[in-house]
Amino acid sequence: MSVSVGPGLSIAVLGLGHVGTTTAACLAEAGHRVHGIDTDPDKVAALAAGRSPVVEPGVEELLRRAVRAGSVSAGPSLEAVLDRLDLALVCVGTPAGSDGRLDYRALVDVLRQLGRGLRRRDRSRPPLLVAIRSTLAPGTMDGLVLPTLAAEAGTSPGERFEAAFNPEFLREGSALLDHRSPSRIVLGERVRGAARRLLGIYEGIDAPWFEVPFRLAESVKLLDNGFHALKVAFANEMGRVALAAGVAPELLAEPFLADRRLNLSAAYLRPGGAYGGPCLPKDLAALLAFGRDAGLELPLLAAVRRSNARHVDFILGRILATLPPPGPLLLLGLTFKAGTDDLRDSPNLALAERLLRAGYELEVFDPDLDPERLSGANFAIAAAHHELLRRRLTADLEGAARRARLVVVAKTLPGLAGRLPDDLPVVDIPRLRLP
């Protein structure tokens, strides 16, 4: 695959591990002039000779062609190429320390080298765009990268340099495919539009891209890998359950993976309220009970229930901090989700009771709920929560909103637009928009 991008950029790739080497090979293939930089002389010698410092299918062939064409060079520092650079991509490792925090020592060394180089860079050149591809914790661009570059360069961002965060999503063993066909491109910026120059290196690649603030971009990579780890652990716990049930794990996986409406989809993956209702709490409890009876440890699934309870605690804490009791407070939604009058294991009902116990003057509006029509288990639940359903439930949304000093939206309700005062503070749980 070859992509032509005009005359090409002059790009330094700092750090020749898996990410840096793959990035260098792909950028050279796309028509750019690439300068690989690393403190390891063996990696520098390998790249200069057209050999890959890492094992990654297809990379060495690209490097051989690039070296023969004169589009790749390598060295231990930026000195020889600094004045010619359009872009510097920082790909050094940020390994985990003993406390789990990322180790930024290699990153800081590179930033200092770049900053000192910027002091000597030809002042007639436009600001050098420094894009960090190394994994960072949220807040690192603002708290470490920008201050280090500015201190060493003796200038503020936007003058002699600009900085961006461009996380990589390359898997070892399929890194070329992931570079050529990424799931998306994320560009973290100091100010809107500052990272747009980076799009030149992705020309010809069809993928959705997100131009976002630093902290959002920094969060994406960690969220991705946390979710991947969660999926592996979940699949393995399900494998243990399958074996205990006398079922082949791969056969259990087939109908599970066939569901692309809920299981393999975006369903349930947007932050919001706690789960509840008649199915999820009950069936999770049944699965855990089966595991106990079979002598299995299922710590991930056991933690799901605890995490769900902690989420309700978290939301209650934010409400208490925003408007301490007595309020008054208006809660929109009592059943476990919109479009149903089902109160079984409703986290919204649990939240309402806790708000009452905290001492709030509480009114509740829920157009899905008519206490006179409840039956069966719902009727029994209503009887157990008589105070809440008989004395706190109101059909007068506008009147309750006028009396309230805070509105808590517990579930998505249609037709709210224009019915709440514009100056009334709102806690929107389904969107997890909290003060």
Could you confirm whether 91 is annotated as catalytic?
A: no
Instruction: Give the strand order in the sheet containing 426-428.
Output: 362-365, 329-332, 406-409, 426-428
Beta carbons of 131 and 198 less than 8 angstroms apart: yes
What tokens were used for 337? 């989700």
C-alpha span between 170 and 178 (Å, rounded): 5
C-alpha span between 401 and 286 (Å, rounded): 41
C-alpha span between 12 and 132 (Å, rounded): 12
**Strand locations in 9-154 (E):** 10-14, 33-37, 72-75, 87-90, 128-132
C-alpha span between 101 and 381 (Å, rounded): 46
Do the bridges between strand 128-132 and strand 33-37 make them parallel or antiparallel, or are there none, so unpaired?
Answer: unpaired
Cα-based angle 313, 425, 270 (whole degrees, multiple of 5): 50
List the catalytic residue out of 235, 279, 289, 300.
279
C-alpha span between 288 and 282 (Å, rounded): 10
Instruction: Give the strand order in the sheet containing 209-213.
Output: 72-75, 33-37, 10-14, 87-90, 128-132, 161-165, 185-189, 209-213
Beta carbons of 410 and 273 less than 8 angstroms apart: yes
C-alpha span between 234 and 256 (Å, rounded): 12
* DSSP reduced 3-state for 225: helix
**305 contacts: CB under 8 Å, gap ≥ 6:** 281, 284, 285, 288
**340 contacts: CB under 8 Å, gap ≥ 6:** 368
Crossing angle of helices 249-258/214-244, nearest 10°?
130
Q: Which residues are catalytic?
A: 279
